[in-house]
Amino acid sequence: MISPLAYIHPGAKLGENCTVEPFVYIDDNVVIGDNCHIMAHASVLSGTRMGKNNKIHHGAVVGGIPQDLKFVGEETTLEMGDNNMVRENVTLNRGTASKGKTVIGSNNLFMENSHIGHDSVIGSGCIIGNSTKIAGEVTISDNAILSACVLVHQFTHIGSYVMIQGGSRINKDIPPYIIVAREPAKYSGLNIVGLRRRGFSNESIKSIHAAYRHIYESGTIVSTALARIKESGNVTPEVEYIIDFVEKVSERGIIG
């Protein structure tokens, strides 16, 4: 299962039943879990911690050093969960002294030529589209979908169950459950199809929609909209997440 044409440093640790194809480079200080498949010409570099059942396609670079001029060679990591699909020429950078690690959850798809910058945190169940570029210290919560060629500014926070249109440029935080589209990127309604696919009830979707009508369609400032949501008596767990995101999580301000 391990090609003699691959290079695996003696200090690397591989789990059981791994497949390593020709011309793979696996560095020192790497841990790879069971049943992973590393395809030809991929590189897994120092500091990578990979769980089970991950598939790394041709030419991908996992755990590359950060593209940050403040990085001076400190020991940092890239920590990846299970069942991730990393397609051709994807680059996943490890952390810097800022946070010490880049974190990727489980069951994600990183499409061809996408990039995850240093110290970012990617949840689980996300799809990162072809040639989408995520800057350093970005947080993307579970089950978000970013279409092709999306550009995300550093320090941005993207909520769960978001759908972002291809080619969008994101420089503000995106609260959960919504579609982001147009140029410049704006709130474009609920991600209703995504929510239904994920098992959200009609009642939950209605409560989310009601909350966003206050935030985006009432013509009031955000703080007033949140106060009205709280006064409405319809603060479901999903609505509570929206409130917490806007009040506590967002530091850049939410998208308009």
Q: Of the candidates 199, 197, 176, which has an alpha carbon nearest to the alpha carbon of residue 187?
A: 176
List 119, 123, 173, 194, catalytic entry: 119
Query: DSSP characters for 138-189?
Result: -EE-TT-EE-TT-EE-TT-EE-TT-EE-TT-EE-SBB-TTEEEETTTTEEEE
CB 84 within 8 A of CB 55: yes
List 47, 95, 123, 136, catalytic entry: 136
118 catalytically annotated: yes
List 57, 95, 105, 118, catalytic entry: 118
User: How far is Cα 122 from Cα 124, in angstroms, rounded to an integer?
Assistant: 7
User: How far is Cα 17 from Cα 125, in angstroms, rounded to an integer?
Assistant: 24
- Lateral strand order in the sheet of 127-128: 19-20, 37-38, 55-56, 85-86, 109-110, 127-128, 145-146, 163-164, 178-181, 186-190
Active site residues: 118-119, 136
